[in-house]
Amino acid sequence: MRLFVLSDNTDTVTGFRLAGVEGMRVLTPEAARAAVSDVIANPDIGVLLITEKLAASIPDLIFELKLKLTGTLVIEIPDRHGTGRSPDSITKYIREAIGVNI
């Protein structure tokens, strides 16, 4: 099982390559869709890391993959510019999932 990273910036891809993780830089939503399709079609890749900004350009596809995909785990990661999530995003997910305000 291998990891693969998709990002819209060169620094993230380069950093992961230095850590031994293959990756690709994509700039358009169309290219991102094609790259995601190629990655999930490869049975050797078990984890797809995709930057939050790139994932935001194809939210419908990412949402569908997270719900239905069984062979590859899709994980959104922040890039060098930081996270796009709000500071209370985990609390929000818990509140939405189980209805408990923590």
Give pLDDT tens digits for 37-65.
Answer: 999 999 999 999 999 999 999 999 999 99
Cα 57 from Cα 20, distance rounded (Å): 26
DSSP classification of residue 69: -
* Burial class, 67, CB count within 10 angstroms (exposed 0-12 / middle 13-18 / buried 19+): exposed
What per-residue confidence (pLDDT) applies to 38? Answer: 94
Q: Is the pTM of this model over 0.85?
A: no
Which has more pLDDT, 64 or 83?
A: 64
Tokens at 22, concatenated: 């293959």
Mean pLDDT of 31-38: 95
Q: Please, where are the H alpha helices in the chain?
A: 10-18, 29-41, 52-56, 59-68, 89-98
